[in-house]
């Protein structure tokens, strides 16, 4: 195994339009797994996007506001839908630049939703019962069934895992080429992957909050970083 720490590009939220905002837990999860996390400035400049695609070893699409429904052919109809046009534009441009590279891709919360839309899938604009505020983020309050014969099952090693939940949207139609790898008890899609890709995985929960206390969560980030080496 190489001792070189992979550089991980992280798509970020913004506050006030000009301040990059990314929780420390994302950094911790990548650092602890052996990578170097780097939050990216959002841009659609083709030259910068090309450099990002070339220079980074893996791409981490993190949580944040909702993907604009226009990207899957709908108008905003769901309760509490909040979008960020500049973030959408950047992430779609970045994904287009890296999609055929074979470089590892990980999505968490908004990240799994974005990746599904980028591949041609759609989302439920609002679902009830999956936003657990004000419960502490490290409390895992719902059970998820992880399907056999999937990358995720091989990583976590268990059929049932307990996860946290901080979302009001979820995958509706899975994109072509992707497979659903986990569901919540109410049927909500909780994970997906591309079985033909070297590493393409998305989870709806936030394993970065408790990766230091939960082996199944740490395994997700460790496998991602290992694939980036």
Tell me the C-alpha distance between 170 and 113, whole Å. Answer: 6
Catalytic option among 130, 167, 168, 206: 206
Q: How many CB atoms lie within 10 A of CB 217?
A: 25
User: DSSP alpha helices (H): ranges in the chain?
Assistant: 24-33, 46-55, 85-98, 110-118, 151-156, 215-228
Q: Are the C-beta atoms of residues 115 and 105 closer than 8 Å to each other? A: yes
Catalytic option among 91, 109, 167, 222: 109
- Residue 109 a catalytic site member: yes
Tell me the C-alpha distance between 3 and 5, whole Å. Answer: 6
Tell me the C-alpha distance between 47 and 44, whole Å. Answer: 9
Catalytic option among 91, 193, 208, 222: 208
- Residue 228 a catalytic site member: no
> What is the rounded end-to-end Cα distance, in angstroms, of the chain?
8
- Residue 167 a catalytic site member: no
3-state secondary structure of 59: strand
Q: Are the C-beta atoms of residues 145 and 188 closer than 8 Å to each other? A: no
Q: Are the C-beta atoms of residues 26 and 73 closer than 8 Å to each other? A: no
The residues that are catalytic are 109, 206, 208
């Amino acid at each position: 195994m190489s001792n070189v720490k992979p550089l991980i590009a992280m798509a970020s939220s913004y506050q006030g339009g000009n301040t990059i905002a990314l929780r420390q837990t994302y950094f911790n999860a990548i650092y602890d797994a052996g990578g170097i996390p780097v939050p990216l400035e959002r841009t659609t400049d083709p030259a910068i996007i090309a450099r990002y695609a070339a220079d980074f070893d893996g791409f981490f699409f993190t949580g944040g506001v909702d993907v604009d429904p226009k990207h899957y052919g709908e108008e905003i109809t769901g309760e509490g839908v909040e979008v960020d046009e500049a973030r959408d534009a950047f992430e779609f441009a970045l994904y287009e630049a890296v999609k055929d590279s074979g470089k590892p891709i990980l999505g968490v919360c908004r990240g799994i939703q974005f990746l599904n839309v980028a591949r041609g899938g759609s989302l439920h604009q609002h679902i009830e019962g999956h936003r657990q505020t004000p419960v502490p983020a490290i409390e895992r309050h719902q059970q998820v069934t992880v399907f056999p014969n999937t990358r995720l099952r091989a990583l976590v090693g268990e059929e049932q895992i307990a996860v946290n939940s901080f979302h009001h949207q979820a995958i509706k139609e899975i994109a072509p080429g992707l497979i659903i790898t986990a569901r919540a008890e109410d049927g909500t899609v909780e994970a997906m992957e591309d079985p033909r890709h070297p590493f393409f995985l998305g989870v709806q929960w936030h394993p970065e909050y408790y990766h230091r206390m939960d082996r199944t969560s740490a395994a997700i980030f460790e496998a991602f970083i290992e694939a980036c080496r």
